[in-house]
Amino acid sequence: MRLGGIGLVDPLELGAQQNSDQPEIAVSFQANAIRIVVSQSCQTRIMESRHQPPWILLHSVAVNTRLIQLQQRIAQLETVAEEIVLLVDRYYRDDHSADSELSIKGQKWYRGSRELLAQNNISSLAEFEECYRSTSNDRRDAYYNLEHVLSAKDRRQIGMTLPQFSDGFRKCRALLSAAEDELFSRELPIVSQLSFVVASNELDTAEKLVTEHRSDDVMVRAAGVIGRVALERHLWTLAESRTLTIPKNPPTKKAAEVSDLLNALMKQSVITQVQRSQLDSLFTVANHCAHPKEPVRVEDVERLIREGRTLTTVIM
């Protein structure tokens, strides 16, 4: 038998010789059959996804790559900044032996940091530059530029004390560190959109199973399980993209469950109370689909797919 218009093994045919007089065996077989359908349907979706527009994969790779590279570069610059702190302390103690190294590392840190902010169009670039070199027309403000210290210039040109330099340098480092969060927030809609595309494909698969096999209980249940996979993955992706912590309730559980995920999403205002109630209802239907002893109506599975698709478009 061909499932969903493609040549896949019909799990029901595998059980043609099963003894229908043994209900426990029949239930166990039906559960295995559901798993087979879900597995084969997911494999089919993967094959079909090869024909998706290339921007989906390209965006995913680009987003992850940019964030990882930014994190790595900021970590490198922070290492240099820590070395500068020690050199500046020696500079203020009139230790001229540190001047050459301070000048090199000071410029290395500033030029590297500024270019990183500029390349990623970070909004704090102008504020960062103002800390390094003031644009004020008041010549007295020039005495408080970080540039003089980071370039190890003549100490007589320095108007700021060591604590004042530390304050300004700390601010610059904070602006650089915050660039990661700004870029992350900027790319968040792209991550959410990618998650929506993946979920939409899976829900299409589930809908196809129901449409073509409305009278087949195994197929209908498999469609419900696939729908749950799509919806749950989308919600976990959103939580991860927002770096949300998902507390386990009770804490002794091995891993957080969907109920914990929904609690965290609602607490962070990612979903509303109404959406939470709707999701609870849909996940109940999906859970029944995965347990052959629980009754399942085709209409409920269709609602799971229909409302699940709607929720993935609005919960981003």
How confident is the model over 262-305, as pLDDT tens digits? 999 999 998 999 999 999 999 899 888 888 788 889 999 999 98
φ/ψ of residue 6, rounded to 5: -130, 160
| Sequence letter at residue 304 | L
What are 123's strand-pairing partners? none
237 near 195, Cβ under 8 Å? yes
φ/ψ of residue 145, rounded to 5: -75, 140
pLDDT of residue 39: 53
How confident is the model over 300-313, as pLDDT tens digits? 999 998 998 888 87
How confident is the model over 11-44, as pLDDT tens digits? 334 343 334 444 444 445 455 554 544 454 544 4
Taking the model in full, what pTM does it have?
A: 0.47
Which of the two residues, 45 and 72, has the higher pLDDT score? 72
What are 3's strand-pairing partners? 6
Q: Which pair of tokens denotes residue 79?
A: 């290492």
